[in-house]
Structures are given as structure tokens and as C-alpha cells.
Amino acid sequence: MTKRQLPVDSGVTPMFAGRQAERRLAIRRGMQLHPASGAGAIKGDMSSATTVVEFKHINPRTKSHTLSVSQVVDTLTQAELAGKQAYYVIHIPEHNITIEGHIRRGRP
């Protein structure tokens, strides 16, 4: 049985829920969170010795996510400069679905 992580009427703000989900993922994967990710010199929301991850938590109220090309390119570039792999993770808590994509240059 799966449980929704964020019921629509929970009273928890979407920003708080996203930060909590981001923190849980970083802990589970043994990664370091990047404070003010995206705003500072370090791109990506978290990283390990081999990986940089951009994480998105989809708010049940909006039910959509716009993928920003510049954000993907920035995450990939940051990972390449550090000699790491880049990933984009989207979590849809309402349906307990996680989409993970490896970001790389080249053709499919």
C-alpha cells in the first residue's frame, strides 16, 4: 500500500514540502545538499563524489512541471566541470512516482 506524501489539504506549503523531499532524497542517497542551490556558484540541489542531482517535487495543486533547458544545461555543465554525472529527478508525491533521468551530451 502506498501513501501520498503530501495531501492537497495538508496545510504544508509546497516550498516546505519540496525542501523536505529534497532532504530525504539526499539522506537516502548519502548526498550533500547544496544550500541556496541554483542561486549560488554550485548548481544542482545535491551531490555526491560522483553525481550532481537537480530535484523537482511536483506540487499536487499544480500537477505539472516545466523543464527549463537552461537549468538542465547548467546542471550538466556543473557536473562536467567537477568530473561528475548529472541527473534530473522529478517526484510526483500524489501518485508516489519518481522519474530519474541521466543528463548527458550526445544523441539518444
CB distance 99 to 86 below 8 Å: no
| 95 φ/ψ angles, rounded to the nearest 5 degrees | -120, 5
**Residue 2: is it exposed, middle or buried by C-beta count within 10 angstroms (0-12/13-18/19+)?**
exposed
**15/86 Cα distance (integer angstroms):** 23
pLDDT at residue number 99: 95
Q: pTM for this one? A: 0.80
pLDDT digits (tens, 9 = 90+) for 61-102: 887 888 889 989 999 999 999 999 999 999 998 899 999 999
